[in-house]
Amino acid sequence: MADNACAIVDVVEFEVQDYVTRDLLFSVDYATSVGLNTDADKLDIRGGPGMPIRITAHHTRNANFTSELPLVDINALGVKLGKKVVTAAATAPKSEKLIVDENNTVTLKEKPLSKTLKVYVLEANGRDPKNELKVGAPATKEDEYLITDKVITVNTAVTEGTLIKVLYDYTTSAGAQLARLTANDFPKYCRITGTGYRLDESGNNAPVSFIVYRCSPDADFEIIFKGGEATNITFNGTMSPALVGTDNTYFDIIYLPVETAEESGGS
């Protein structure tokens, strides 16, 4: 038997389900941190000489869930944004730098969508735009280009070896995953579970699990792409009580016996 006094480490098997259907919304192998916190309003009743506190009562309990996830599951973004991730063909942006060949052409990697293509001749430094080319008749106009499928033809004044920069949108293959923020979609209630490990002074290592029965994820959203650092996301929310038996319950913390860890391969 594990000691009651222990250290709790790690959070694995972090699962988020739909509150009503129990459908799995997303799963993360491990979380950097998970927090279950609660507070309540306090009512102090005073009376008598010096007005000491005679009675203290508590009411209006609040419960909050916090977590930080080091592995970004795109479905977690969908839950936070309140709109399920769609797997299908999607519109995506593309930026390319291309070298004009001996035929005064460059070939794009993708086929641009209508009215999205922008074409720039670059300065000798290969970065700064020198001038923009417009769609038209490059056979007679130096500042115009013609596109056929993925091939852009430029005027002979844009000589072989010149760098061209192109910006455009294209349609991806059907396997793209799209997470979208809209003005009228908000997160829905979910159920959150996870397992950590507790270590005691007797050398036991046993799992400790938690269940958050009903949580409304925060609608606030932030994702940061930063050089040299992995992208973490927070998944926080406000708990509401759910009826478990006869109790209005926010969450359970379950200390599982040592033998459960041994059966599951724990040390």
Q: How many domains does the chain have?
A: 2
- In this structure, the answer to whether residues 107 and 230 fall within a common structural domain is no
pLDDT, residue 267, reads 43
Report the mean per-residue pLDDT for the chain.
90
- Choosing from 142, 171, 200, the residue where a domain stops is 171
- In this structure, the answer to whether residues 188 and 213 fall within a common structural domain is yes
Q: Report the distance separating Cα 76 and Cα 70, nearest Å.
A: 12
% pLDDT > 90, the chain: 70
pLDDT, residue 259, reads 57
- In this structure, the answer to whether residues 81 and 95 fall within a common structural domain is no
Task: State yes or no: pLDDT of 3 exceeds 70.
Answer: no
- In this structure, the answer to whether residues 123 and 57 fall within a common structural domain is no
Residue 135 lies in a domain: yes
* Residue 72 lies in domain: 7-43+53-85+180-263
Residue 48 lies in a domain: no
* Residues 72-90, mean pLDDT to the nearest whole number: 93
What's 20's domain CATH number? 2.30.110
Residue 1 lies in a domain: no
Q: Report the distance separating Cα 15 and Cα 209, nearest Å.
A: 11
Whole-structure pTM value = 0.80
pLDDT, residue 197, reads 86
% pLDDT > 70, the chain: 94
Q: Report the distance separating Cα 92 and Cα 100, nearest Å.
A: 24
Task: State yes or no: pLDDT of 214 exceeds 70.
Answer: yes
Task: State yes or no: pLDDT of 266 exceeds 70.
Answer: no
- Choosing from 145, 171, 197, the residue where a domain stops is 171
pLDDT, residue 261, reads 42
